[in-house]
Amino acid sequence: MWLSIISFLGGPVIKGLIDAYNAKLKAGNVDNRIAADLAAGEIAAQTAEAQEQTKLKIAEIGHPWEPEKLAFYIVLVFFAKCVIWDTVLGLGSTPALKGDVSIWAGLVMSFYFGKRTFENVARIIKR
C-alpha cells in the first residue's frame, strides 16, 4: 500500500527507484544483484542530472528584482498606462515624455529586449 502511494506522489523517478529496490530484493544470484545495483545507480544519476538542469535554468533566468528588470518594470508601467488607460479606455491623457527621460525610456526598452537577443546569439555562436 505504501509503495503505491509513494509511487503515485513521487512520479516516475520515485517509481523507478522503488522498482530498482524491489528488483534488488528479489535478485537471487550475483548477476541479478549487479544489474539491480546498476539500474539503481542509473536512476540516481538521472535524478541528480535533472536537479542540476533545474538549477541551471534557475541561474539563467535570474531574479525579478535585478536592477535591469526594475528599470524595465517602471517603463512598462508607463507604457501600459499610456496604451491601456489613455488609448484603449480613453480615460485620461498622459503628456509625452521629453528630453532625457524619453531617451532613457527608449534605452531601457532597447537594452531589455536587445540584451536577451544578443545573449541568445552569443550562446548559439559559442556552440
pLDDT attached to residue 46:
86
pLDDT attached to residue 84:
85
pLDDT attached to residue 4:
58
All cell numbers assigned to 38: 546498476
Same domain, 36 and 69: no
All cell numbers assigned to 98: 521629453
pLDDT attached to residue 13:
66
Same domain, 77 and 114: yes
All cell numbers assigned to 65: 528584482
Q: Which of 65, 69, 56, 53 is nearest to 116 (CA)?
A: 69
Virtual torsion, Cα 6, 11, 13, 18, nearest 10 deg: 30
All cell numbers assigned to 21: 529496490
> What does each of the 127 residues of the chain score in pLDDT, given as a tens digit?
555 555 555 566 666 777 777 777 766 666 677 777 788 888 888 888 888 888 877 776 777 777 777 878 888 888 888 888 887 888 878 777 788 888 888 888 888 778 778 888 888 888 7
pLDDT attached to residue 1:
52
CA–chain centroid gap for 100, Å, is 35
Q: Which domain holds residue 88?
A: 62-126
Same domain, 52 and 84: no
Alpha helices in the chain (DSSP H): 2-26, 30-61, 67-80, 99-126
The separation between the first and the last C-alpha atoms of the chain, rounded to the nearest angstrom, is 49
